[in-house]
Copies of this chain bind each other. A is one copy, B any other.
Amino acid sequence: MSDGATALVTGFEPFGGHRLNPSAEIATRLDGCRLGRVRVVGRVLPVDLVGLDAALDKVLTETRPDLVVALGLAASEPVIRLERVALNVADFTTPDNVGAVRRNAPLDPAGPDARFSRLPLEAILAATLAAGIPARLSETAGLYLCNALMYRLLGRLRPAIPGGFIHLPPLPGQIAEAIRHAGGRVAERGASLASMALELQARAVEIAIETTARGADASAVPNA
């Protein structure tokens, strides 16, 4: 990737009763950083299904990125989760931040059933693990706004621009607060109590940008 390339990192606002969203924390934290020859621009998007497309379009127009890493929170995820695919469906009962819910609604009635990530997922996975940060590939980005953003992003970007979506675990403080809120008593909920420190999450996102900027093949998806 040429000198002066721009990497766009997007996060989401907090939602669903959470006070924080690690994706917004990281987008804000990385905004303005340089990673090698890449300049990072961080933006926070609204948790608003209807308004999301216009918000994304505005950010893309303003920032004209050479690569895009979109981020979101996965509430019960213990590791950095590299999404392979976005589906052309929205289906969620937890309202978004403006009160919308959806049941089996197509995101784009004229669009394809799904779109594969155009990030070099295998290379990002290998580099993240080599840095001592737990990560995995994922076959589903859910059917909430994270999936909707990924689907829209991949339809909107020119094919030559690498882009995709990464789900992040909760922050330790979010889990501690949730347990306090429950009076210190949690049923044994396994993975739903997992978290990851912000520093590790931010480093993983930097690795994703650096790996993509180096021009690694988008090899974790077959026909990307």
- Chain A residues with CB under 8 Å of chain B are 76, 78-79, 84-85, 87-89, 91, 93, 104-107, 109, 112-116, 122, 125-126, 128-137, 139-140, 142-143, 172-173, 175-177, 179-180, 182-188, 190-191, 193-197, 199-200, 219-223
- Could you list 14 A-B pairs, sorted by A, with CB under 8 Å? A78-B78, A78-B195, A84-B87, A88-B222, A112-B112, A122-B184, A132-B172, A132-B177, A134-B176, A172-B196, A191-B193, A193-B194, A194-B194, A197-B197
Decide yes or no: A139 and B93 within 8 Å by CB, A114-B113, A172-B200, A222-B104 being known contacts. Answer: no
Across-interface contacts of A196 in B (CB, < 8 A): 172, 195, 197
Residue of B nearest to A191 (CB): B190
Which 7 residue pairs across A and B have the least CB separation, nearest first? Answer: A114-B114, A106-B222, A190-B191, A194-B194, A132-B173, A139-B140, A78-B194
Minimum CB–CB distance from A143 to chain B (whole Å) comes to 6
**CB-contact partner of A130 in B88, B180, B197, under 8 A:** B180
Across-interface contacts of A195 in B (CB, < 8 A): 78, 134, 194, 196
